[in-house]
A and B are shown apart, each in its own frame.
Chain A
Amino acid sequence: MSTSPQLVPILVRARDPRRRPRVPTAAVVRLAIHQHRIVLALAVPVLAVLTLWTRDVAAQAVAAHAQLAAGGCLSGPSAASEGCLDLVQQVQSASQAVRHLQYALVALPVLAGLFFGAPLVAREFEQGTHRLAFSQSVSPQQWLRGQLALACGAALLVGTAGAALGVWLHDAVGPAVFPGDGAFMLLPYNADGPVLAASTLLAVALGVVAGTLTRRTLAAMAAMLGLYGAAMAALTWLRQYLQPVRTLLTHHGYDLAPDDWLLRDGVQLADGHRLLYAQCGPGGCPDGAPTFEDYHTADQLWPMQWAEAGLMVLLAAAALALAHRALRRPRG
């Protein structure tokens, strides 16, 4: 006995010819990690040395200051004694050590840009290995995105580690230890916090874009130095405008805290016109006029740092977008 054939609806999905298997981004990133594993591994001992150094310097500074306080040398009659002069010298050498460490911390972004960012793409073209990379099933742009993911990740990690060391140092060695070493001064300012982390990203990004455009490692290094220097100079000038300026009008001298940042001061004339102290004639500033001070307060430090770091991230993003665009079409 036979049954009539039954119709069974089946769904046939036509293969979309435009859909092709894509190379996973993870594979491209894995290639980038393997390529740069040596320079990445180098970052670990460098950061370890910097950490030990920071611990040492911070301890040295705190100890020197504690001795000074214990000896009663901070104020009072014994401050000028022979023993105090010795202790003051110790504090000064600790202050030197802090300065050296801060130099090392601000050098961190420059080194990352020079030896990691600039060669990242440039060396590829210089050694011709881009031919190997670009003849796989990935586009040059997809390949670059893998490299950039690694570069940005590594730069942010290293920059954040450096920034944390800077903050550690900053907290241990505040103005209480070294009066006059305000947090807004260029050196502590650029050597800690979000600014150091973001400037590492910026330096690496500028190195990458220089390398992508010049395709020569040495030229890329030089261009990266120039670009980074210009960017830092511009941002350093700009940072005072990133937070509202506070103004103090008084009839007596300075009222600012040690960590405040005095932008400009002078006298305010009766017509509201302002004269900087330097603009007063040889006869001196007019008597009786109130003095004005434009300044940033210490609590504006971190907002200003975050704002400047944000600008750096934007600049870095623009640089990387330019590099990405440059690889859109092959160039002979």
Chain B
Amino acid sequence: MITTPAVQAVGLGVRRGRSEVLHDCRFRIPRGAVCGLVGPNGAGKSVLLATAAGLVAPDSGRLELLGRPVGDAANRPRIAYVDQNRSLYRQFSVQRLLRLGRDLNPGWRPDAAEEVLDAARIPVRARAGSLSGGQRTLVSLALARGKAADVLLLDEPLSDLDPLARRRTMGLLLADVAERGATLLLSSHVLADLEESIDHLLLLDHGRVRLAGPLPELLAAHRLPDPLSVPAARSAGVGAPAGSVPARAHRVDLLPGDAGPDHTEAPTLEELVLAYLHHPGAPDWISPAMRPLTPETCEAVGA
């Protein structure tokens, strides 16, 4: 039996005014994945998360969460979302915000929410407006975690947390993945923030999915050119301007088809992402594990 994917997009497009922020996105995030959503500023990460959270309507294509179209009422208790601005009622105390979470969510887990706050010693009587940015992030994450959702959509969840809080918070979220089978989709424009925790990666660039797959598979499928042959690669016209990136990341090639003897070294995740961003013309690479399940593939896998 195939479990329905946590998130699945087929030809998803979202417009803002006349420009298209997401264009023909196709991907699938399996249940229980910890998926990093990376890409440069303005790539469409936040729009993708807001669309998945049901706050932005797709203009074309389909976006499904847990097998249901986005915005489906049955999904509401099952999806948690933390937006980039940590929107909180500023006049509410932390305590009152937690009560909001308890009142408006049938499956509320008070201990799961409090765990996020306790470690950081956030004063529960303080008004949200008086908290620091990092503290507001923790309150937002506490609300998301308390909801006991199956899919957590977190927009830049770690960006303003100190290293200790990052570690603790990620630990709590990963425990939810391990114990409850939750799925995490975390965005960041700093890959290093996520690298330790994620097991899947989704790279967005200019509204397009450029790279998607489970980490080991991603890294195994790419090879870097031998440092000695880099000048040759550059003269072949696929290199980036010299000096702008580490020399090792100048070429993206796929294995096995394309790998010559001068492509020997496995890239790091950072190098891989940078290489794709530097080569907008390089073909997109979506692992079969993250391609959307069409009716045909369902039959194929089921057979």
**Chain A residues in the interface with B (C-beta under 8 A):** 18, 20-23, 27-28, 30-31, 34-35, 38, 127-132, 134-139, 329-332
B89 touches A129 (CB 8 A): yes
- Residues of B near A134 (CB, < 8 A) are 53-55
B54 touches A28 (CB 8 A): no
- Residues of A near B79 (CB, < 8 A) are 135
User: What would be 13 A-B contacts, judged by CB atoms less than 8 Å apart?
Assistant: A18-B74, A20-B77, A23-B103, A31-B100, A31-B104, A127-B90, A130-B55, A131-B85, A131-B87, A132-B87, A136-B76, A136-B100, A137-B77
Compute how far the CA of A28 lies from the CA of B100 in the bound complex, rounded to whole angstroms. Answer: 9
Interface check B39, CB cutoff 8 A? no
Which chain B residue lies CB-closest to A146? B104
A131 touches B81 (CB 8 A): yes
B74 touches A131 (CB 8 A): no
Compute how far the CA of A20 lies from the CA of B87 in the bound complex, rounded to whole angstroms. Answer: 27
- Residues of B near A18 (CB, < 8 A) are 74
Which among A129, A139, A330 has the highest number of chain B CB atoms within 10 Å? A330
- Residues of A near B80 (CB, < 8 A) are 135
Interface check B88, CB cutoff 8 A? yes
- Residues of B near A31 (CB, < 8 A) are 100, 103-104
What does the 1/0 interface line of B219-236 toward A look like (CB < 8 Å)?
A: 000000000000000000
Q: Given known contacts A27-B103, A136-B100, is B89 in contact with A35 (CB within 8 Å)?
A: yes
Partner of A137, one of B56, B71, B89, B104: B104
Interface check B101, CB cutoff 8 A? yes
- Residues of A near B81 (CB, < 8 A) are 131, 135
Of all A-B residue pairs in the complex, the 7 with the closest CB atoms, nearest first, are: A21-B106, A136-B104, A27-B103, A137-B77, A135-B81, A128-B87, A137-B105
Partner of A332, one of B57, B87, B88, B147: B57
Interface check B65, CB cutoff 8 A? no
New A-B contacts (5) at CB < 8 Å, excluding given A137-B147, A330-B71: A28-B103, A128-B83, A130-B55, A136-B76, A139-B73
Interface check B92, CB cutoff 8 A? yes
- Residues of A near B18 (CB, < 8 A) are none
B16 touches A332 (CB 8 A): yes
Interface check B96, CB cutoff 8 A? yes
Compute how far the CA of A130 lies from the CA of B77 in the bound complex, rounded to whole angstroms. Answer: 16
Compute how far the CA of A201 lies from the CA of B140 in the bound complex, rounded to whole angstroms. Answer: 35
Q: Given known contacts A20-B74, A128-B87, is B96 in contact with A34 (CB within 8 Å)?
A: yes
A28 touches B104 (CB 8 A): yes
Which chain A residue lies CB-closest to B96? A34
* CB of A290 to closest CB in B, whole Å: 68
- Residues of B near A135 (CB, < 8 A) are 53-55, 79-81, 83, 144
Compute how far the CA of A102 lies from the CA of B223 in the bound complex, rounded to whole angstroms. Answer: 82
Compute how far the CA of A131 lies from the CA of B96 in the bound complex, rounded to whole angstroms. Answer: 17
- Residues of B near A329 (CB, < 8 A) are 57, 71
- Residues of B near A137 (CB, < 8 A) are 76-77, 104-107, 147
Interface check B14, CB cutoff 8 A? yes
Q: Given known contacts A136-B147, A139-B73, is B103 in contact with A330 (CB within 8 Å)?
A: no
A23 touches B73 (CB 8 A): no
- Residues of B near A130 (CB, < 8 A) are 55, 87
Which chain A residue lies CB-closest to B102? A27
* CB of A217 to closest CB in B, whole Å: 15
